[in-house]
Amino acid sequence: MSDLKTADGQIEVALHQESILFCNKMDRFLNMSEYYFDNVVTLSKAVNNKCTELKDILMDLGQAFKHISQVNKMAKLEEAEDLFM
């Protein structure tokens, strides 16, 4: 198994120590890729959770502004009634 040929048999390839080195580098590359992919997935889930929390906070804030607006309208109506009475 010292010489290999490509599928169409055109190029001969000699097996060398570099193939072991290449395989080791590819193994490290794949391990690091898996590590970073796992981190991306974990962080994406965390971002999604934070976005959900932010949505809830903004909905509550919108309700608070709605209540403030109603109180403000009531205060203006009371002021207007005081002016005309």
Work out the average pLDDT over 72-77. 85
Residue 4 binned pLDDT confidence (cut-offs 50, 70, 90): low
Amino acid (1-letter code) at residue 50: K
* 27-54: pLDDT as tens digits: 999 999 999 999 999 999 999 999 999 9
- What average pLDDT does the structure give for the chain? 84
What span, in angstroms and rounded, lies between the C-alpha atoms of 40 and 38? 5
The four Cα atoms 78, 79, 81, 85 give a dihedral, to 10 degrees, of 130
Domain ranges of the chain: 3-84
pLDDT of residue 1: 43
The helix (H) or strand (E) run that includes residue 45 is: helix 17-84
Work out the average pLDDT over 21-28. 91
